[in-house]
Amino acid sequence: MQRNELEKILKGFTGRSIAILGDVMLDEFCWGKVDRISPEAPVPVVQVKKETWRPGGAANVASNVVAMGAKAHIFGIVGDDGSGRRLTEELQSHGIGTEGLIVDSGRRTSVKTRILGQNQQMLRVDREHTEPIDYERQKAILNVILDMSDELDGVIVSDYAKGVIVEDLFKEIVTRFRKKNKFIAVDPRQKNFPFYKKQTIITPNVKEAQEALGRLLETDEDIMKGGVDLLKQTHSDAILITRSEKGMSLFEKGKDPITIPTRAIKVFDVTGAGDTVISTFSLGLASGCNMIQSAEVANLAAGVVVGIVGTAAATQEQVLSHFDRSKL
């Protein structure tokens, strides 16, 4: 890909409108320093110097969409609690539409707290409910997303297996939006693979692909066969397997698979890299790119965020800068 082509693609992201359906979370970061071991147990003592919060999970996908200059609308569940209100405020401050964020007094907002010392993650604490949402919450989400469907270019399903992505809701979304010729992109979790069917694209990492297929994918040959098998199994238009330091492999119906080498220069933290991949890939589809172009730009964007500690999102300017540095 040439720089002028990349610039044109990125400019096409501006003004696109994407729905993100899935498990929203609040990512909390406690930043500190370590200079001693606890006398109570053989563990480091982190002296917290500051605390920061970011939208996480499906909400981080929305943040990535907005960072790239497009519009994002989030659809999911938060609790009637302080964390839910903080998350909603964070989303709105990023310019993310929260019309589809349903408040459920019977659940707590998912919060992931990361304790960092000298910029290294020492511990993560998760507070969450993972029970499937009930019919009334499914209906509430469906009604709002369908009311907005005409203004949306497509839907990203960001599944963290925390209860929002359930079979009936998923099938209804796929059926309704594919009838309107709009894409459905799925970032999967293994437990729900049996009902991921007929989406436009699904983006498992190697571990998720292995779990879905029930076998190891250890060699390039294994990956190539596994991607083809997943394409048949899910009846998708395409499969994008993300392969960490080996880049990503794209499988499209009726086409030969291709592998795109990684563009990462430094890797500090892979938190949220999958969110960046699916958001950027989806914006490529929304702006008229083919799947190979979309995957190449997503690969560049992922190279940006893995070089940043903590949950992060790439901007158009950062992607262009990363492209220039990766060419040196």
**What does each of the 328 residues of the chain score in pLDDT, given as a tens digit?**
889 999 999 999 999 999 999 999 999 999 999 999 999 999 999 999 999 999 999 999 999 999 999 999 999 999 999 999 999 999 999 999 999 999 999 999 999 999 999 888 899 999 999 999 999 999 999 999 999 999 999 999 999 999 999 999 999 999 999 999 999 999 999 899 999 999 999 999 999 999 999 999 999 999 999 999 999 999 999 999 999 888 899 999 999 999 998 765 555 445 558 899 999 999 999 999 999 999 999 999 988 887 655 556 789 999 998 888 877 5
Q: Say what the pLDDT of residue 264 is.
A: 55
Domain boundaries 3-326, CATH class:
alpha beta
CA distance 76 to 276: 19
Asked if 155 and 18 count as a contact pair (C-beta separation under 8 A), the reply is yes
Q: Which of 154, 165, 157, 96 is nearest to 130 (CA)?
A: 165
Asked if 133 and 109 count as a contact pair (C-beta separation under 8 A), the reply is no
Q: Which of 281, 287, 134, 182 is nearest to 173 (CA)?
A: 182
Q: How many residues belong to the chain? A: 328
Q: Which residue has the tokens 């899910």?
A: 234
Catalytic residue among 23, 27, 187, 275: 275
Type and span of the H or E element at 235: none
Task: List Cβ neighbours of 251 (8 Å cut-off, separation of 6 or more).
Answer: 227, 228, 230, 231, 238, 239, 240, 241, 257
**How would you classify the pairing of strands 44-57 and 71-79?**
unpaired
275 annotated active-site: yes
Asked if 217 and 226 count as a contact pair (C-beta separation under 8 A), the reply is yes
CA distance 273 to 49: 26
